[in-house]
Each structure stands twice: as C-alpha cells, then as structure tokens.
Structure 1
Amino acid sequence: MSSKKQGTLWAAFGRQRQPPAKRQKLQDADDVSVPRRKQSTPSEAPAEDADAVMQVEGGESDSVKTTEWSHVQLKTQEIRQPKDKLKLNERKEIMDSVHGLMTFEPICMEIIDTLQFQRLRSLHQLGAANYVYIGATHSRFEHCLGVAYLAEKMMESIRSHQPWLPITKEDILCIKIAGLCHDLGHGPFSHVFDGLFLDQLRKKKLISQSFKWSHEQGSVDMFDFLLA
C-alpha cells in the first residue's frame, strides 16, 4: 500500500477518535475543500453548445439515411428491368439429379415461372407406372427442363462440329425454348389421358367421335397463350 493511501486511512481513523466538537470542525473543513476542487476542474460545455452538437450529428445521420435510401432505390430500379432488355448471359442455375447443374436464360425463366409450366409438377411422366414401380415418380416438369438442357447441348455440338452452318445463339435459344415447352399440353397421367382415357370417352359417347384433341395441339395452344 502506498504512503499516500496509508496517510488517508490514518487521517480518517484519527478523525473518528476525536471528540464530537472537533470532529464536526474537521468535517466542515472537508465540505469547504470539496467545492474548491470542483471549481478547479474544467467547466462543462453550455447547454446551447450541446444542442448545437446534437443538431449537427442529427443532420449527419439524416444525410446518411438519405444516402442509404437512395442506394436502395437505385438497386430496386436495376432489378426491375423491362422484359425487352433481358440479357442472354444472365443465366440462372437449376440442379438436376440426372444432368447435374443446368443453366437457363431469363426468357426461359419467364416461361418456367408461369402457371402453365408449373402445372407440369403435378403430371407424372410415366402415367400410372408409379403405382407398380414406386420410384417412377418424376414429373413432366423435370422432363421438360431436361429436354431443354439436352436440346441446347445438341445444338452446340452441331455448331462446333459443323462450323459452316449459320447457327446463331438465337437459333440455339429458340430450340431450347421449343424443348422446354413441348409438353405444356399434357393432361393428367400424360399419355394415358389422350390415349386410353379419351378413347373410352368416345366409346361411351361422352364426347364426339370427331373430337381429335391431342397433347401436341394443347402445347401449341398454351404456348400461343403465353405469347399473347
């Protein structure tokens, strides 16, 4: 313990041992010395100055918030691009259990995100085969994505092996979209619907014998609807 602390402790101890009258005088002396020490410390800033500082800081925070909001608005405007300005190189990725990572252009994603295409998730690729082969549960949705992916690979292979052919990127994209939309018109249980089911309806005269609907025509009709 330092000598200064020891002196303070002995002074306090000695004060307690003094008579009450002398102890009161010592206490009064301490009370007088405390304000003097407070007066010797630097004076605090006036209230007006503190308010001014707070106003400046508040103005800076408001400017920061305005800058951040402008940045958010700019990002939002960049995201909301018109459909006619979609770039072919802004591709999105979908992981497939067979083909691995497949990439699709924004125009393909516009088609995939429609109700007409999303309904293919509920249509089994192999009809009623999953009632016997319980693992055959893949849908027309996966099938169409895979066909589009393979169609693109096929066209790129033809272009690389036969460079004299005038095949452009737009041509490859059109073939890819055709593969993507080729099964849009399928009904429930795929070929079971437009084969066995419709034949039974014709035999029972529930539909006209001249009704020649097919899933190919349904695909064309749905694609025309998407383009409208």
Structure 2
Amino acid sequence: MASVEVELQHTLDRKRGELQQVAVKAGTAWLAPTAATEAGTEQLYCALERQLAAPEFEAELARSQHDLAGGQHAQQHAPAPGSEGCEVLAQDWWELKEDGELRVSEQTGDYVFVERDDVVRALAAFIAEYIVSLPEAQHMEPRQLQRAVVMTMGELRKGRVRRLLDWGRSLYRLGAVGYGAFSVFTNPWVAKAVLAALWSCVRLMGRIVL
C-alpha cells in the first residue's frame, strides 16, 4: 500500500482516542446517516468549509507541522492500546459490505443535519494532521495549505461528490489508480486526502454505540 495510506493509518492511530472521546461526548449517531445522503453531505461540507477557513485551522496546520518536524508524529506511530491498527490497509475498510458495521439509510432527499461543533473541530484537526504528513505538503506554508484545503472543500461541495458514503466505497480502488482519478480538482492530492480523512472519521466514529 502506498505511503499515503500508511500515513492515514498512523494519523488514525494517533487521533483514535480523541475521536472516540468526541463521539461519546457529542453523540454521533447522526454522522454516518449524514454521509449517506446528499443533503446531509452538503451540510457537512458547509460546516467543515467554515471551520477550515477559520484562523484556528491555520494554527492547527502550523502546530501539526511543528510536531512533525520535531519527530513527535514518528514517536506516536504505534497503534493505540486495543486498536486494530490496520483498518486503512484493508480493502473492506473502504468498500463497506452491505452487512458492515455502519447502518445507514441509502435514501437521498431531505435530511436535517444538526451541526455539532465539537465533531466538526475534531474532523478538521484530523484533516490537518493527515495533510501535513503527506509528501506534497512538506514545502508548503500553513496558509498555503489552508487555502488549498478550503478550495478543495468548495469544489467538493459544488461538484459530483454528492454523498460521502459513495466515495468511501470507491477510495480504495481510486487509490490504486493514483491521483489521476481526482484530476477534476485543482489540487488532486488534497481532494483525495480530505475524502480519505473524512471517510476514516465516519467509519471510526460511526461505529460507536451511544
């Protein structure tokens, strides 16, 4: 598996405890169904776009870059106690079988999305830490990265990624093809990274029974 998937697993392992705590605190029974509908995905993108455009996200990117440069990321690469530590490397993590753990409605249409600030912030923090770990980000300043991520969120919101769940099923196959499948985006590597990060959070947080 490519190094980007390995880095995604490392980020998932580092942030697992934090994401699980947020899920329990905020209640995320709505997160997986949201990703399964067009209206819910639209609202999720809008909430994230606002968070990613805020000064706090640039600061999060800078903090993650500082930690990476200081070697703190490498020291935390081991899976958290009790974690699987290999989800991202498994094809079924992306394909989501019909009898998988995420029980969501396949119906599109109206969906009332209740914005949960803690969850949106947790998603943004996960995206920040994963983005800065990728080779393409190594020589970019936090503000440049922020602009690229915000632009990508806008393209996702206006484009063909209408339901996050649909893309979760395809990311493994598209990852094997490379960034060419994301050529419609201004920054293909950012689009792939953002979608992969969001899907990983939905898979992890959506499995928690509240």
Confirm or deny a common fold (TM above 0.5): no
Structure with more relative contact order (C-alpha pairs < 8 Å, separation 6 or more): 2
Structure with greater strand share of residues: 1
State the TM-score, normalizing by the size of structure 1.
Answer: 0.19
State the TM-score, normalizing by the size of structure 2.
Answer: 0.21
Based on CA coordinates, which of the two structures has the bigger radius of gyration? 1
